[in-house]
Amino acid sequence: MMKKACLEFCWEYVDGRSARLKKQGIALQESLGSETKSSAGDKHETGRAMVQLEQEKLGQQLQELEITRSILNKINLETPSNKIRLGSLVKTSMAYYYISISAGGFKYNDVTVYCISANAPIAKLLIGKENGEHYVFNGISQVILDVI
């Protein structure tokens, strides 16, 4: 099932990003621990401050990742809908879109599906529409061919 494969791709994307962020966190912690007091005290303090700033950025990224996880947790593949909403796989005259999180393109057989956030401009145009409805994106008129 194409829709299930899209959701799995999104989860793999999030899990991969989580693993990379955790590795960064470990590396930063080690870097902070290995900062040794040199004869130039200012250099030491600057190094520690830079590592701490990186840790703060990492913390923000981890919070954003948790929000992304919560969005994926809201997707229910069992509840069908004729209207486009979070979790819909949409075939348009231009492309396939999976309304979920921004995870990039996903290849399913010979079809590329774009996993996009519900906040993406194209998603905002699509949400609430049904099969056969037309919309204009970037000055190009398009039609919704299927809502899966």
Q: What are 46-104's pLDDT values in tens digits?
A: 777 888 888 899 999 999 999 999 999 999 998 888 999 999 999 999 999 999 999 99
Residue 84 falls inside a structural domain = no
Residue 13 falls within a domain, yes or no? Answer: yes
Domain tally, the chain: 2
Label residue 104 left, alpha or beta by phi (over 0 means left) and psi (-120 to 50 means alpha): left
- pLDDT for 29 equals 83
Check whether residue 51 and residue 114 sit in a common domain.
no
Question: Could you give the CA distance from residue 105 to residue 1 in angstroms, rounded to a whole number?
Answer: 17
119 with 104: CB under 8 angstroms? Answer: no
Selection from 127, 53, 125 nearest residue 85 by Cα: 127
With a pLDDT cut of 70, the percent of the chain lying above it is 93
- Domain holding 99, by residue range, is 89-147
In Å, how far from its chain's centre is CA 142? 25
Tens of pLDDT, residue by residue over 63-75, are 999 999 999 999 9
- Sorting pLDDT into bands at 50, 70 and 90, what band is 39? very low
pTM of the entire structure? 0.85
- Output the pLDDT for position 102: 97
